[in-house]
């Protein structure tokens, strides 16, 4: 039994010394976008009253800044493979946005973004299980 515990401890030390995987960032680093619409998997469409109230700004070092209507936030992003996008937890202010705001929708869906595509100069963020996609255009 003692040998087994020693072996587990040794394996834990070796695993802890393994190199950290490199951060993979792609062509969306150092870009800024504003929301055009959300197209739901059920065919529903949500459009913002003002595109400039819903923005994403990707940095080259894996950080992202967001504005979801009356709230702003920061988080992280990484590419796990070709077009596979994952966001880390988002630190977001908690102001009460007006009725009709898309804030709650975006904040709730944020963890479920899985892929991105840049097509026709627009950024598309797709949710898991074909639940829908967000379309963004470059910030002006």
Residue 136 to residue 37: CA distance in whole angstroms: 7
Structural domain total, the chain: 1
- Nearest in space to 110 (alpha carbons), one of 38, 46, 42, 5: 38
- DSSP state letter for 7: H
Is 68 part of any domain?
A: yes
Residue 90 to residue 101: CA distance in whole angstroms: 18
Cβ count near 3 (within 10 Å)? 7
Range of the domain at 26: 22-138
Q: What is the CATH number of the domain that holds 50?
A: 2.40.128.270
Is 12 part of any domain?
A: no
- pLDDT tens digits for range 31-76: 999 999 999 999 999 999 999 999 999 999 999 999 999 999 999 9
Handedness of CA 109, 77, 115, 37 (dihedral sign): positive
Q: Is the pTM of this model over 0.95?
A: no
Is 100 part of any domain?
A: yes
Is 84 part of any domain?
A: yes
Which whole number is the average pLDDT over 72-88? 95
């Amino acid at each position: 039994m003692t040998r087994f515990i020693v072996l587990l401890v040794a394996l834990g030390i070796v695993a802890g010394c393994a190199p950290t995987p490199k951060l993979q960032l792609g062509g969306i680093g150092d870009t800024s976008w504003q929301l055009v619409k959300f197209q739901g998997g059920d065919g529903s469409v949500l459009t913002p009253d003002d595109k400039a109230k819903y923005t994403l700004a990707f940095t080259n070092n894996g950080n992202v800044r967001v504005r979801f209507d009356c709230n702003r936030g920061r988080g992280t992003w990484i590419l796990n493979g070709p077009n596979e996008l994952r966001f880390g937890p988002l630190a977001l202010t908690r102001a009460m946005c007006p009725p009709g705001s898309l804030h709650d929708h975006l904040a709730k869906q944020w963890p479920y973004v899985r892929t991105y595509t840049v097509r026709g100069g627009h950024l598309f963020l797709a949710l898991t299980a074909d639940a829908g996609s967000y379309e963004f255009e470059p910030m002006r």
